[in-house]
Structure 1
Amino acid sequence: MLSSGRAHNTLTLALSALMLLLLAAACATPVSGPVVTTGVAETAPGGEATDAHGGGAIHAEDEYDLPDLSPVTLVEGERLRVVATTNILGDVVRNIGGDQIELTTLLPVGADPHSYNATPADLRMLSEAHVIFIVGEGIEESLLPVIENRGGDSALVAVNTGINLMAMDAYEEDEVHEDEPEEAREGDEADHDHGLDPHTWTAVPNVMHWVEIIEHALSELDPANAETYEGAAGAYLAELEALDTEIEAAVAAIPAENRKLVTDHETFGYFAAQYGFEIIGTVIPSFSTLAAPSAQELAALQRQLEAEGVRAIFVGSTVSPTLAQQIANDVGVRVTPLYSDSLSTSDGPAATYIDLMRYNVASILAALE
């Protein structure tokens, strides 16, 4: 199902591709078992992360590395043992693997993937798995030492591989506060990350890319069921394409001047880029919830909310709303809960990835219309 890379006809593009490969190799963290290397995005002069061919911030690279996986030997009645880190990723894997795999999702509902600590049971499941799917690019930052030192010979597959990841600079273009003292801004620069945004699932086309990565890996490891995986992936891709169209139609009802988002941390950048929103600011100016804002940053954010006429602060279910609520009370806006890093319980409004996206869009529309 994965399309092959297009040939490049100019020396400039060839050199750019080579530089990206060398950069990825230099920055990669060694892990045991096969691993997909993650595509690295360049930053355009305007701050938006793009690929070497000038593409948009949320589309897949033309060329990216896929895992070199060998078929797993399964005895009669044995299924491929699969581990997914986050429950959002687990839902996507489930839609492709179905009953052909034995799926375990590490993070329970409501757990923050940035700060989750593995349990002894998690360690056992990681060591016994045939393949481990991770989002990658730091979303599982607290789990990485455990994953890197897992026992066994499981394959490790990062589904963000090949996606043109957005750089922190893309957010900061709109969030620099000129009235903040220079010394404070320099201190803030040192305290917060300036890497690449791993929250790719907030834009549906990126999850469609995940599907292709997952289907490829499952088919390579379990070729006897490859046709089943391919069929399930095709059906799920059709659902996701319809979802993307549905979201675009729903968002069209919001006046352009009202499409302003303030969130708990830098998590909705891909959503904003895909569906025409502007990120005005964040309570935590970082991709990670483990960071903490300074007093100067909070004061500057409050001034910006007042100046922009922002109507709501959106807070994910895995993050404490206390700080956002304090700012909202001071400014006189509402706090609107969303599901960003985790699904809801099975009887909740965001039990699946598709449900999550529909719930979030409906909540954003209700807050901004």
Structure 2
Amino acid sequence: MIRPHQRIGVYLGRVVMILALIGAMWMAGCASPEHTARPPESAASPGARQEALPTLTPVTLAEGQRLRVVASTSIIGDVVAHVGDGLVELTVLMGPGQDPHGYEPTAKDIAAISEAHVIFINGLGLEEGLERTIKAAADRGQPVIAVSTGVPAREMHLSGQEGTGRPDPHTWFDPNNVILWVNNIEGALSALDPVHASEYAANAEVYRQQLRELDAYIREQVARIPPERRKLVADHLVLGYFAARYGFEVIGAVIPGFSTVAEPSASDLARLTALVHEAGVPTIFVGRTMNPRMTQVLAEEVGARVLPLYTGALGEPGSGAEDYISMMRTNVDTIVEGLSHP
């Protein structure tokens, strides 16, 4: 018979092996100087807190020419597409299924950025691999708009712990924050292309109403989960804004940070195991862009199941999560499924 302390020892042994493998893969991917050097943060850097949008000057466009717009992530690209709706030439750097934390720009991405009239990023440190490229664009005088400007940024909080002071970049997990994104995108496009300002405004209002309806849908679905079961554990700290808006408690995360490129320690995982055991969490959620192995090991140890969420990127066509609103509805349905019953 395996005693409890022996079981924990076996679990930690498995965790250490997985950490060693992940560490080796991480080192292999980060061996070059380009991956290790980090530029200083500026007001336009994805890692900085941008307090206000920059002043924009209208762009002179030839007849039939459209604004050249770049969006960093597929989620931002979808929101820009709703506001721009055929009036802009949109390039999205990170497609469906691509993790924004670990993404590195290609030569094609850098060329698109250099030719853009405006660049939309999330900000708050999300686009870690794009920082150097975005800073270079801002230094050239290209408008860089952090769509999360004006969102009250949350700090990293774990159950029973103090905040760290680091801002949580995953603002899109509250549709009300995406309404602020829409305002920022509408304002930027209208300033750069005032000829079409009324059309941008009309498109933006239609989409804002859809986001209000999404918020109502989420509230209706969350009401199906008993309050004592509204406890969240995920692969990294991605659900803070969702939890704050809809009355959940974040118990912890496999990676106790906002970035998927960080690594947990064995002690982090041991602490999380104890917390999940104590809270009786029935389901652990893992992003579809993440390797689920470490989450699966934790779930096996605590007797929970693992369900996937769309976190940093939209789904592929036909996935049921190919736009922001359908992505959020799919995620909420999954969360309700995972937490409604023990």
1:1-369 aligned at under 5 Å gives the runs 29=42, 31=44, 38=49, 65-150=52-137, 153-168=141-156, 171-175=157-161, 194-369=165-340
Q: What do residues 171-209 of structure 1 show as CA deviations (whole Å, max 9, x unaligned)?
A: 135358xxxxxxxxxxxx9xxx75110100000100011
Contact 1:130–1:153 (CA under 8 A) maintained in structure 2: no
Q: Distance in 2 between matches of 1:31 and 1:231?
A: 28
- Residue 98 of structure 2 aligns with an amino acid whose one-letter code is A
TM-score, length of structure 1 as denominator length: 0.78
By how many angstroms is 1:332 displaced? 1.1
Q: Counterpart amino acid of 2:303?
A: G
Q: What SS class does the counterpart of residue 172 from structure 1 fall into?
A: coil
Q: Secondary structure at the match of 1:83?
A: strand
Unaligned runs of 5+ residues in structure 1 are 1-26, 40-63, 177-188
Per the TM alignment, residue 304 of structure 1 is displaced from its structure 2 partner at its CA by 1.1
Paired with 1:255 and 1:223, the residues of 2 have a C-alpha distance of 49
- The answer on whether the counterparts of 1:38 and 1:162 sit within 8 Å (CA) in structure 2 is no
* Distance 1:30-1:234 versus aligned 2 partners, 3 A rule: closer
Maintained 8 Å contact 2:159/2:252: no
Residue 345 of structure 1 contacts residue 351 of structure 1 at CA under 8 Å; is this kept in 2? yes
State the SS of the aligned residue for 1:143: helix
Identity within the alignment, %: 47
Structure 2 gaps, min length 5: 1-39
Q: What residue number does 2:8 align with?
A: none
| AA aligned opposite 1:262 | V
Give the TM-score taking structure 2 as reference length: 0.84
Give deviations 1:263-297, integer Å, cap 9, x for gaps: 11011000000011110110000011111111011
How large is the Cα RMSD of the aligned pairs? 1.9
> What do residues 106-158 of structure 1 show as CA deviations (whole Å, max 9, x unaligned)?
00211111110100000100000000000001000111111112385421000
Contact 2:231/2:250, CA 8 A, preserved across alignment: yes
